[in-house]
Amino acid sequence: MAKRNIIKMGDPLLRKICKPVESFDGKLAQLIDDMEDTLHAVGGLGLAAPQVGILRRVCIVEYDDKLYELVNPVLIKSSGKCVDNEGCLSVVGFRGLVERPETIDIEYFDRRGRKHSQHAEGYFARVFLHEMDHLDGILFADKMIKKIIDDD
Ligand code: CO
Protein backbone atom coordinates (compact mmCIF):
# COMPACT_ATOMS: atom_id res chain seq x y z
CA MET A 1 0.00 0.00 0.00
CA ALA A 2 1.55 3.24 -1.08
CA LYS A 3 0.12 6.60 -1.88
CA ARG A 4 2.05 8.51 -4.54
CA ASN A 5 2.33 12.25 -4.98
CA ILE A 6 0.00 13.78 -7.59
CA ILE A 7 1.70 16.39 -9.76
CA LYS A 8 -0.13 19.55 -10.74
CA MET A 9 -0.75 21.51 -13.93
CA GLY A 10 2.41 23.41 -14.80
CA ASP A 11 4.62 20.35 -14.31
CA PRO A 12 6.04 19.45 -17.75
CA LEU A 13 5.57 15.70 -17.08
CA LEU A 14 1.81 16.20 -17.54
CA ARG A 15 2.47 17.34 -21.12
CA LYS A 16 4.41 14.31 -22.36
CA ILE A 17 3.15 11.56 -24.66
CA CYS A 18 3.27 8.37 -22.58
CA LYS A 19 4.89 5.21 -23.88
CA PRO A 20 2.99 1.92 -24.21
CA VAL A 21 3.47 -0.70 -21.52
CA GLU A 22 5.51 -3.61 -22.88
CA SER A 23 6.07 -5.72 -19.76
CA PHE A 24 3.08 -6.92 -17.77
CA ASP A 25 5.23 -7.51 -14.71
CA GLY A 26 5.36 -6.89 -10.98
CA LYS A 27 6.41 -3.30 -11.50
CA LEU A 28 3.22 -2.63 -13.48
CA ALA A 29 1.11 -4.32 -10.80
CA GLN A 30 2.81 -2.18 -8.14
CA LEU A 31 2.14 0.99 -10.13
CA ILE A 32 -1.56 0.12 -10.52
CA ASP A 33 -1.89 -0.81 -6.83
CA ASP A 34 -0.26 2.47 -5.82
CA MET A 35 -2.49 4.44 -8.20
CA GLU A 36 -5.56 2.80 -6.61
CA ASP A 37 -4.30 3.64 -3.10
CA THR A 38 -3.67 7.21 -4.25
CA LEU A 39 -7.12 7.58 -5.84
CA HIS A 40 -8.83 6.17 -2.76
CA ALA A 41 -6.81 8.46 -0.47
CA VAL A 42 -7.72 11.66 -2.29
CA GLY A 43 -11.09 10.74 -3.86
CA GLY A 44 -12.00 11.07 -7.50
CA LEU A 45 -13.22 9.13 -10.50
CA GLY A 46 -9.91 8.37 -12.16
CA LEU A 47 -6.16 8.76 -12.23
CA ALA A 48 -3.57 8.43 -15.00
CA ALA A 49 0.04 7.29 -14.56
CA PRO A 50 1.55 10.62 -15.71
CA GLN A 51 -0.27 12.29 -12.79
CA VAL A 52 2.05 10.33 -10.49
CA GLY A 53 5.02 11.09 -12.74
CA ILE A 54 5.12 7.78 -14.63
CA LEU A 55 5.08 8.25 -18.41
CA ARG A 56 3.37 4.98 -19.33
CA ARG A 57 -0.05 4.35 -20.90
CA VAL A 58 -1.85 3.29 -17.72
CA CYS A 59 -4.94 4.79 -16.11
CA ILE A 60 -7.62 3.74 -13.68
CA VAL A 61 -11.30 4.65 -13.56
CA GLU A 62 -13.69 4.06 -10.68
CA TYR A 63 -17.33 4.36 -11.64
CA ASP A 64 -20.48 2.98 -10.01
CA ASP A 65 -18.29 1.20 -7.44
CA LYS A 66 -16.41 -0.69 -10.13
CA LEU A 67 -12.71 -0.23 -10.72
CA TYR A 68 -11.30 -0.41 -14.24
CA GLU A 69 -7.56 -0.82 -14.81
CA LEU A 70 -6.62 0.30 -18.31
CA VAL A 71 -3.26 -0.53 -19.82
CA ASN A 72 -2.57 0.72 -23.35
CA PRO A 73 -6.20 1.83 -23.87
CA VAL A 74 -7.37 2.67 -27.40
CA LEU A 75 -10.51 4.49 -28.53
CA ILE A 76 -12.13 2.26 -31.17
CA LYS A 77 -15.30 4.19 -31.92
CA SER A 78 -17.16 7.24 -30.71
CA SER A 79 -20.41 8.97 -31.56
CA GLY A 80 -22.53 11.93 -30.52
CA LYS A 81 -21.57 14.98 -28.53
CA CYS A 82 -22.34 16.18 -25.04
CA VAL A 83 -21.13 18.93 -22.73
CA ASP A 84 -20.59 18.42 -19.00
CA ASN A 85 -18.57 19.57 -16.02
CA GLU A 86 -15.08 18.14 -15.36
CA GLY A 87 -12.40 18.51 -12.77
CA CYS A 88 -8.98 16.93 -12.35
CA LEU A 89 -6.81 15.98 -9.41
CA SER A 90 -3.92 17.75 -11.18
CA VAL A 91 -5.87 20.99 -11.71
CA VAL A 92 -6.44 23.05 -8.59
CA GLY A 93 -9.00 25.84 -8.22
CA PHE A 94 -11.29 25.36 -11.17
CA ARG A 95 -13.43 22.99 -13.16
CA GLY A 96 -14.71 23.41 -16.70
CA LEU A 97 -17.36 22.51 -19.24
CA VAL A 98 -15.95 20.18 -21.89
CA GLU A 99 -17.53 18.76 -25.05
CA ARG A 100 -16.93 15.04 -25.53
CA PRO A 101 -18.50 12.16 -27.46
CA GLU A 102 -21.71 10.74 -25.97
CA THR A 103 -20.85 7.07 -26.52
CA ILE A 104 -17.55 5.26 -26.95
CA ASP A 105 -16.07 1.84 -27.42
CA ILE A 106 -12.58 1.26 -26.09
CA GLU A 107 -10.14 -1.62 -25.89
CA TYR A 108 -7.47 -2.04 -23.28
CA PHE A 109 -5.37 -4.61 -21.47
CA ASP A 110 -5.49 -5.49 -17.79
CA ARG A 111 -2.42 -5.88 -15.57
CA ARG A 112 -2.03 -9.50 -16.68
CA GLY A 113 -2.04 -8.61 -20.37
CA ARG A 114 -5.56 -9.84 -21.10
CA LYS A 115 -7.50 -7.77 -23.62
CA HIS A 116 -10.88 -6.23 -22.78
CA SER A 117 -13.53 -4.24 -24.62
CA GLN A 118 -15.80 -1.70 -22.96
CA HIS A 119 -18.77 0.31 -24.18
CA ALA A 120 -19.54 3.48 -22.24
CA GLU A 121 -22.03 6.33 -22.45
CA GLY A 122 -22.50 9.75 -20.90
CA TYR A 123 -20.41 10.59 -17.86
CA PHE A 124 -18.95 7.06 -17.72
CA ALA A 125 -17.53 7.59 -21.24
CA ARG A 126 -16.33 11.05 -20.23
CA VAL A 127 -14.22 9.70 -17.37
CA PHE A 128 -12.47 7.20 -19.69
CA LEU A 129 -11.80 9.92 -22.28
CA HIS A 130 -10.48 12.35 -19.66
CA GLU A 131 -8.04 9.76 -18.31
CA MET A 132 -6.98 8.64 -21.80
CA ASP A 133 -6.28 12.29 -22.73
CA HIS A 134 -3.74 12.41 -19.89
CA LEU A 135 -1.72 9.72 -21.70
CA ASP A 136 -1.27 12.15 -24.60
CA GLY A 137 -0.40 15.14 -22.42
CA ILE A 138 -3.86 16.70 -22.70
CA LEU A 139 -5.74 18.26 -19.78
CA PHE A 140 -9.44 19.16 -19.65
CA ALA A 141 -8.34 22.79 -19.27
CA ASP A 142 -7.05 22.67 -22.87
CA LYS A 143 -10.50 21.73 -24.17
CA MET A 144 -12.92 23.53 -21.88
CA ILE A 145 -15.48 25.83 -23.42
CA LYS A 146 -16.24 27.49 -20.07
CA LYS A 147 -14.14 27.78 -16.93
CA ILE A 148 -15.89 27.30 -13.57
CA ILE A 149 -14.05 28.82 -10.61
CA ASP A 150 -14.41 26.89 -7.34
CA ASP A 151 -16.06 28.96 -4.62
CA ASP A 152 -14.18 27.64 -1.61
CO1 CO B 1 -7.39 14.44 -14.82
Q: Which residue has the higher pLDDT, 150 or 81?
A: 81
Kindly report, residue by residue over 45-99, the tens digit of the pLDDT. Answer: 999 999 999 999 999 999 999 999 999 999 999 999 999 999 999 999 999 999 9
Residue 143, classed as helix, strand or coil, is helix
DSSP state of 25: S
Name the percent of the chain lying above pLDDT 90. Answer: 97
What is the whole-number distance in angstroms between the Cα of residue 108 and the centre of ligand 1? 19
What is the whole-number distance in angstroms between the Cα of residue 51 and the centre of ligand 1? 8
Which structural domains are found in the chain, ordered by start? 12-149 (3.90.45.10)
131 included as an active-site residue: yes
What is the whole-number distance in angstroms between the Cα of residue 47 and the centre of ligand 1? 6
Question: Has residue 132 got a pLDDT over 90?
Answer: yes
Q: Please tell me the distance from the alpha carbon of residue 99 to that of residue 71, in angstroms, as a whole number.
A: 25
129 to each of 8, 28, 79, 138, how far by Cα in Å?
Answer: 19, 21, 13, 10
User: What is the average pLDDT across 33-40?
Assistant: 98
Who contacts 133 (Cβ-Cβ below 8 Å, separation ≥6)? 139, 140, 143
Q: Please tell me the distance from the alpha carbon of residue 35 to that of residue 6, in angstroms, as a whole number.
A: 10
Query: Would you state the torsion angle of the CA atoms of residues 41, 45, 48, 50, taken in this order, to the nearest 10 degrees?
Result: -60
User: What is the average pLDDT across 116-130?
Assistant: 98
Question: Has residue 37 got a pLDDT over 70?
Answer: yes
Q: Please tell me the distance from the alpha carbon of residue 152 to that of residue 25, in angstroms, as a whole number.
A: 42
Question: Has residue 151 got a pLDDT over 80?
Answer: no
